[in-house]
Amino acid sequence: MNVLIELLAFVVAIGVLVVVHEFGHYSIARLCGVKVLRFSIGFGKPLVQWVSGKTGTQWTIAALPLGGYVKMLDEREEGVPIPTAELPHAFNRQSVGKRIAIVAAGPIANFLLAIVLFAVVFATGVTEPAAIVATPAPDTVAARAGFDGGETVVAVREGDAGESEPVRSWSDLRWKLLGAAFDHRRVVLSAKDGRGTFDFPVDLRGVSDKDVDDDFMSRLGFEPGGGTLSVAGVEAGSAAQQAGLQAGDRLRAVDGKPADNATTFIAAIKAHAGKPVTLRIERGAQGQQPGTLENIVIVPAARRDETTGQQVGRIGAELATQVPSLEVRYGPLESMQLGARRTWDLSVYSLRMFGRMIVGEASLKNLSGPVTIADYAGKSARLGPSAFLSFLALVSISLGVLNLLPIPVLDGGHLLYYLVEAVTGKVVSDRWQLVLQRAGLACIVALSAIALFNDLARLIHF
């Protein structure tokens, strides 16, 4: 059943994104007076096709739904005689400005789709963790800023004199810190606790682009807090079982330090390989009804970390975290503004990540192919409409950014030809175009092979 959901969600996602992308090309081509011969969704054998009596365009749905294309009237197509009356409607007869507009319309359509999808998510409301900061690890950016844990971030401003922007949720906080980290800025977070509201200067000027990844919030010391950390299960014969830890126990502290998130707890356990650690637990709690507080001394078993090669502690307990959440909803205008900002931020992030992979500062394992996309499509679809729409927006941005890369055979490669023509007044020769097309095709094949390898590596864990 899960495979069927993933497959269906993947087909829907790819279908929507391809139609939007190609319709961008189609609509601007028609606006510029270019005759469109075929609009195809998918490749290979046509399953359904019909011809528009008004435009003469052949609309096709093909067997392999992994892309699509728009075929326009063009004199460069060999073996296709074009009547003299239709020559003004050929793509190659258009001005360089019109050709740039037609080619750029596909990626732009993807970005516009992302803006609309994000706006729908923001306007309809989404449930997110509250912006409550957990106890940060020592010597992290959050700890140096003065956070003790339990503070709720309510606003952020640039430097000491900037205008404050409200922070509504953990996701909102993450995006604001992500933007500041990209720009290497110093920001001030306003947060409140039981004593009042205080300012916390967060210096992100020393954060490198290499540090800005999926785990950058944890690396800065920011973890969602204010909730409960519980034991979901205990392995037979493990250190946790030997010490008497039970499923359902709520973890309150580790050696006297609050334990309100899994990251901090796991880090503390890893640091005590073969050494005793005292856990403060609450046993027998039911909902809001408190349980009995107990201290348990446990000696984590020493295990070799496959990444670092060092000995780390492990107790053999499965953890479950519950953090306070809230429904975040925005007005129509604000939703569109936030959708545009989120699309811009993700586009910049994608470009920077790709650049880091090219220069070797980021792993090529970050590339994903159709298997991973199908997996995430299914997972997001099961989470609900908001998650699936956000996933569609993310992939639409990735498709737009990818197509704008200056690689021949992609839209960005064609745009590069036309920009050269606009600057020099000369069309790039057929010989050079052929050489660059082959080089571009080799790049695409290499990237596709790497992405597919990464998919298989994730699937079979090698």
Give the pLDDT confidence of 265-274 residue by residue, as tens digits: 888 888 888 8
> Distance between CA 29 and CA 59 in Å, rounded?
15
- How many domains would you assign to the chain? 2
At which residue do the structure tokens 């429904």 appear? Answer: 327
Residue 89 has pLDDT above 70, yes or no: yes
Residue 299 falls inside a structural domain:
yes
Residue 171 has pLDDT above 90, yes or no: no
Residue 156 falls inside a structural domain:
yes
* Structural domain span for residue 232: 228-322
> Angle at CA 127, nearest 5°, toward 124 and 133?
140
pLDDT at 365: 65
* Segment holding 431, helix H or strand E: helix 430-460
Where residue 32 falls among pLDDT bands split at 50, 70, 90?
very high
> Distance between CA 188 and CA 198 in Å, rounded?
10
pTM of the model: 0.78
Residue 426 falls inside a structural domain:
no
The CATH number given to whatever domain includes residue 289 is 2.30.42.10
- 200, 239: one domain: no
Active-site residue among 22, 128, 151, 223? 22
pLDDT at 371: 62
Which of the 8 DSSP states describes residue 184? T
Residue 250 falls inside a structural domain:
yes
Residue 272 falls inside a structural domain:
yes
Per-chain mean pLDDT for the chain: 83
Higher confidence at residue 265 or residue 366? 265
pLDDT in tens, 56-75: 899 998 887 778 889 999 88
The residue from 168, 185, 220 where one domain ends is 220
Average pLDDT over residues 200-226: 78
pLDDT at 462: 47
pLDDT at 461: 47
Average pLDDT over residues 171-185: 84
pLDDT at 372: 66
- 232, 307: one domain: yes
Q: How many CB atoms lie within 10 A of CB 308?
A: 8
Question: In this prediction, what percent of the chain has a pLDDT beyond 90?
Answer: 19
Computed from CA positions of residues 58, 62, 68, 74, in that sequence, does the dihedral angle turn out positive or negative? negative
Residue 238 falls inside a structural domain:
yes
Residue 12 has pLDDT above 60, yes or no: yes
Polymer length in residues for the chain = 462
Where residue 228 falls among pLDDT bands split at 50, 70, 90?
confident
pLDDT at 194: 82
- 237, 318: one domain: yes
> Mind giving me the DSSP string for 52-81?
-TTT-PEEEEEEEEEEEEEEE--TTSTT--
Task: Say whether 86 is catalytic.
Answer: no
Where residue 367 falls among pLDDT bands split at 50, 70, 90?
low
The residue from 201, 220, 239 where one domain ends is 220
- For helices 370-383 and 385-404, what crossing angle results, to 10°? 150
Residue 289 falls inside a structural domain:
yes
Residue 133 has pLDDT above 60, yes or no: yes
Going across the sheet that includes 196-203, the strands are 165-166, 152-158, 186-193, 196-203
- 244, 310: one domain: yes
pLDDT at 123: 93
pLDDT in tens, 257-293: 877 778 778 888 888 888 999 998 888 877 667 778 8
Higher confidence at residue 440 or residue 189? 189
Range with the lowest mean pLDDT among 192-201, 203-212, 400-409?
203-212
pLDDT at 98: 94
Q: How many CB atoms lie within 10 A of CB 443?
A: 16
The residue from 174, 202, 220 where one domain ends is 220
- 237, 208: one domain: no
